[in-house]
Amino acid sequence: MTKTYIATLDRIVDGQTAVLLFEEDDETVDQLDVDVTTLPPEAQHEGAVLEIAVEANELCEAEYLPEVTQSHNESVQERLDRLSTKLSEKD
C-alpha cells in the first residue's frame, strides 16, 4: 500500500544519503533515508519540502514543492529570530 507524505530534507549525510522527515499536522512522525540522487535535482538541498510516495519503506515518487519550501524556510527563520531576541533580552 502506497502512502503519501509531506517530507522535509533534514540533512544530507556524507554527500549521498538524504534524511527525509515525514510530517503530519506539523509534527515529525517518521523518517526515511534515501540516496540523494533519487530526489529531483532542484530538491537536493537541506530544507527542501517534497510530497513523497512510500511503499514498504521505499521511496516510489518525489515531487519538489518550491513554494512550500520557501514558506517553511521563512517560518523557521522567524522562529529562530524570535528565540534569538528572547535570549538576548535575558542578558
Stated length of the chain: 91
The arithmetic mean of pLDDT across residues 18-36, rounded, is 89
pTM (2 d.p.): 0.81
Number of domains in the chain: 1
Residues with Cβ within 8 Å of 15's Cβ and at least 6 positions away in sequence, in order, are 36
Going along the chain, which residue ranges are E strands?
3-13, 17-24, 27-35, 49-55, 58-64
Distance CA 49, CA 38 (A): 14
Q: What are phi and psi of 26, to 5 degrees?
A: 60, 20
- Residue-wise pLDDT tens digits, 46-79: 999 999 999 999 999 999 999 998 888 788 778 8
Q: What CATH number did the domain enclosing 36 receive?
A: 2.40.50
Task: Domain of residue 51: give its range.
Answer: 3-90
Cβ count within 10 A of residue 62:
20
